[in-house]
Amino acid sequence: MSNKPKILTRTVLLVSFVSLFTDVASEMLYPIMPVYLKSIGFSVLLIGILEGFAEATAGLSKGYFGHLSDSWQKRVPFIRAGYSLSALSKPMMAMFTFPFWIFFARTLDRFGKGIRTSARDAMLSDETTKEHKGKVFGFHRSMDTVGASIGPILALIFLYFYPGQYKWMFFIAFFPGLIAIGLTFLLKDKVTASQRHSVTRGHDHRVQGSQGYKEEISPPHHLTTPPPVIGFFSYLRYWQVASPSFRFLIAGLLVFTLFNSSDAFLLLALKEQHFSDTTMIGVYIFYNLVYALFSYPIGALADKIGLKTMLIAGLVLFAFVYSCMGFVSSLAFFGILFFFYGVYAACTEGISKALLSNLAAKADTATALGFYNSAASICTLIASSMAGLLWYSIGLQAMFLISGIGVFAVVCYLVFIFRIQKYRLA
């Protein structure tokens, strides 16, 4: 009888389908979001600030709720609440159009993402071993991106029959979000050995003090008190106990994020060349199809050749795409760049999470991922705001070129760390 572990478990499949339907809703709106915002009076600079602020909100909450998920040893409540808030935010975007309300609704969407993301990624990590994380995270990203392809297709069909009717799309997007919420009720948290032990005899759990994490004995289950109150920024103390390998990798990834502005600017580059909304959405669908098609096989390949090797390859592709994006005008060249951009995403999004989760203790997985997501989103706020400012002041060519050159420098740093310091991150 084979002892080969099952890679795509029921939980992995359920989480992946929840992400698929959520992305049908979100990505139905994403390609038209910058156009919609401009139609109600938002400038490119204000769009950059909005996207950056929303992502920063998501990032800060990812850290806190990731730490809370580890503390409670629960994943499902955070996943369910996060997906519910994101679904509810969709129709809110179309109810009113004054800036404060738009900021609130968009931020609520990202807040929901912040609540769910670290717990969801930790649940995926808990379902597999280090040898198969590339496959698991790759499969999840593939399913997530299938939804990101279906959403824009639905948007394209709707706009073909009802051109310019952007508001109605926000109401339509609510329905796949409801399906995602329903699927979360099929998820169940695992009962750990320590939790089973606590039913009759008490259990050990890890608490954080000034000298790092330590073991503390809890009373029996029927005598336990509610979980301790956790400070909103307490997850930042994870840096004190993180391994050197984790810190060096995080440093490189955060600098990369400083040069990685919102994808909305890539779509606006198409609009600057006077392509239609349908063409813009079609290119975005193409990008997502490439992303979805390559995510699982790249994850499987990364498990064989090394996660760090695949990460470097993806960053090289990003630097190439951004260095060229401001200098093309034909649809064919845009298609080539978006193809490579899809491959880049497949090489980095799931791979970076797999790398980080391998460098964290299992009990701290959500905290470690939340720490990174939090810091990365602050960098995204800076990146998107600066990208909008650069585009506004000196043009799109300079904005894209600066990003490309900056990421080439990040690649050099990571290659130096991986080879000279000989950290084994795969």
Mean pLDDT per 10-residue section of the chain, whose length is 426 residues = 67 92 88 78 78 75 87 90 92 82 87 90 85 86 86 85 85 92 90 49 44 43 54 79 85 91 82 81 85 89 88 94 88 92 90 84 82 82 82 84 92 86 50
**Domains of the chain by start residue, with CATH:** 10-184+229-420 (1.20.1250.20)
Type and span of the H or E element at 215: strand 212-217
Return the DSSP state at 1. Answer: -
Residue 217 φ then ψ, to 5°: -85, 130
DSSP character string of 270-337: HHHTT--HHHHHHHHHHHHHHHHHHHHHHHHHHHHH-HHHHHHHHHHHHHHHHHHHTT--SHHHHHHH
Using DSSP's 3-state secondary structure scheme, residue 387 falls into helix
The confidence score (pLDDT) of residue 125 equals 86
- Torsion-angle region of 56 (φ positive above 0: left; ψ -120 to 50: alpha; else: beta): alpha
Exposure on the CB side of residue 129, measured as CA atoms within 13 A:
4
pTM of the prediction?
0.73
The confidence score (pLDDT) of residue 226 equals 54
Measuring CA to CA, how many Å separate 365 from each of 189, 281, 320? 15, 36, 32
Using DSSP's 3-state secondary structure scheme, residue 26 falls into helix
E-state strands within 124-211? 204-209
